[in-house]
Amino acid sequence: MPTATRRRAGVRRAVRRAGAPLLLLLPSLILVGVFVYGLIVANTRQSTTDNHTAAQATGQAPTTGVGLRNYLDLLGSEEFQHSLTNLVLYTVVFLVGTMVIGFAWAWLLDKPLRGEGIFRSVYLFPMAVSFIASGVVWRWLLNSNQGEQASGLNRLFQMIGLDALQNNWWNNVSVGIVAIAIPAIWQLSGYVMALFLAGFRGIPVELREAARVDGASEWKLYRHVLFPQLSPIALSALIIIGHMSLKAFDLIMSISKPANYQTKVPAVDMYVFKSAFDYANAAAVGTILLVIVAVVIVPYLVHTHRQGRR
């Protein structure tokens, strides 16, 4: 057979093998390509222009490319650095809080316990409430008035004689954002618990029995047998909570207000820029957020991809 014919036959075979799946995937590929990656490109292009006014946004005034100037200006401004610091603070506290509490609950529920189902539901329930709805309640609980005018948690502290614990919650300009992590932890700890509980239940009983037969103490059993088995779960939980935290917007908007300096995070900045017709800066903030989230998620995706192939 001549080489050309053989090659054509090979191509035909390849098309036959990949054609049908490709055809099935095509609609979603096109949709994702246009509406995710296409728009990311459009957004990035927008962020490198000087499109800062309403007139430019509608093409009445010319826009010119300014390269990375918007990024440099943003990252150099005290206000945006404050937003980034807030984001880091919020994420760290939110992550540590949900992981510690979620793990502790899972560990407690792992022991055979009567009424386990009830506890599980009770802990998981807050997740069913939307951030906006719980924010309305927490805005009242986290009222910053102290002394005679106090309400919410500060009033509760007074009633149980812990007056010293009263504080101005999210109105503290340097660490106030941490107060907003409290409701977030309250809502998501149950979810982390559910993840860990599934992890515990996934470990075969034989492993525990084997360890006990070999004379391992309870601590050693956890340290060397159970925890290593949970690390993929812990990683998933970290990624899920972490990317939620980086995109935090609704909870902050409903407890505080977009203009409040003490609770600014990049997502809020993006909203404020957009409302003031400053599309270039809004796009730049969006891209920065995307990069931050990518830094967290991409290594995880690479990791799971490698594991999947192994």
Which residue reads 């997502």 in tokens? 267
Q: Could you tell me the two tokens for 114?
A: 């009567």
Contacting residues for 166 by C-beta, under 8 A, at least 6 apart:
146, 147, 150, 154, 157, 158
Task: Of 49, 83, 78, give the one whose Cα is nearest residue 65.
Answer: 49
111: phi then psi, degrees, rounded to nearest 5:
-65, 145
Taking the complex as a whole, the smallest distance from the CB of residue 1 to another protein amounts, in Å, to: 59
Q: Could you tell me the two tokens for 148?
A: 């005679």
DSSP H or E run through 259: none
Taking the complex as a whole, the smallest distance from the CB of residue 251 to another protein amounts, in Å, to: 14
> Of 244 and 269, which CB lies nearer to another protein in the complex structure?
269
> Of 73 and 209, which CB lies nearer to another protein in the complex structure?
73
257: phi then psi, degrees, rounded to nearest 5:
-130, 155
Taking the complex as a whole, the smallest distance from the CB of residue 248 to another protein amounts, in Å, to: 18
For 273-296, b where at least 16 C-beta lie within 10 A, e where not — what string?
Answer: beeeebbbbbbbbbbbbeebeeee
Taking the complex as a whole, the smallest distance from the CB of residue 99 to another protein amounts, in Å, to: 29
Footprint on this chain of another protein (rule: CB under 8 A): 52-55, 57-58, 60-61, 79, 82, 139, 142-146, 148-149, 168, 170-171, 173, 255-257, 259-262, 272, 275-278
Taking the complex as a whole, the smallest distance from the CB of residue 242 to another protein amounts, in Å, to: 27
Beta bridge partners of 65: 49
Taking the complex as a whole, the smallest distance from the CB of residue 173 to another protein amounts, in Å, to: 5
Contact 102, 195 (CB under 8 A): yes
Taking the complex as a whole, the smallest distance from the CB of residue 246 to another protein amounts, in Å, to: 22
Furthest-apart CA pair in the chain: how many Å? 96
The CA-CA-CA angle for residues 122, 93, 150, to 5°, reads: 75
